[in-house]
Amino acid sequence: MEIVKPELLQALILTKNEEPNIKRVLDKLTWLQKVVVVDSGSTDNTLTIMQAYSNVEVVYRKFDTFAQQCNYGLTLLNSEWVLSLDADYVLTDGFIEETRSFIATKNDKVAYLTKFEFLIFGKQLINNNTTPRPVLFKRNAGSYFDDGHAHRLKIDGAEGFYHSKILHDDQKSLSRWISNQDGYSIRECNKLLDSSNPDANSILNRIRCTKVLAPFFVFFYCLFVRGLFLSGWAGWYYTLQRTMVEILFALRLIEEENLKGK
DSSP 76-92: T--SSEEEEE-TTEE--
pLDDT bucket at 114, cuts 50 / 70 / 90? very high
What pLDDT sits at residue 130? 86
pLDDT score recorded for residue 192: 79
Q: Describe the crossing of helices 232-261 and 213-220 by its angle, rounded to 10 degrees.
A: 170
Number of DSSP helices (H) and strands (E) in the chain, helices first: 8, 13
CA distance 95 to 146: 27
Closest among 25, 26, 31 to 97, alpha carbons compared: 31
Give me the amino acid identity at 258: N
Whether the pLDDT of residue 261 is over 80: the answer is: no
Indicate the pTM of the whole model. 0.91
Share of the chain above pLDDT 90, in %: 78
Residues 158-209 have pLDDT tens digits of 999 999 999 999 999 999 999 988 888 888 888 877 777 777 677 888 898 8
Q: What is the mean pLDDT of residues 30-41?
A: 98
Find the range with the poorest average confidence among 11-20, 102-111, 125-134: 125-134
Residue 109, CA distances (Å) to 7, 50, 91, 135, 248 in order: 18, 32, 21, 13, 39
The torsion of the CA quartet 237, 243, 246, 251, rounded to 10 degrees, works out to -100
pLDDT at 190: 81
Q: CB–CB of 96/28 below 8 Å? A: yes
Report the C-alpha gap between 30 and 221 in whole angstroms.
Answer: 39
pLDDT for 149 equals: 67
pLDDT for position 145: 92
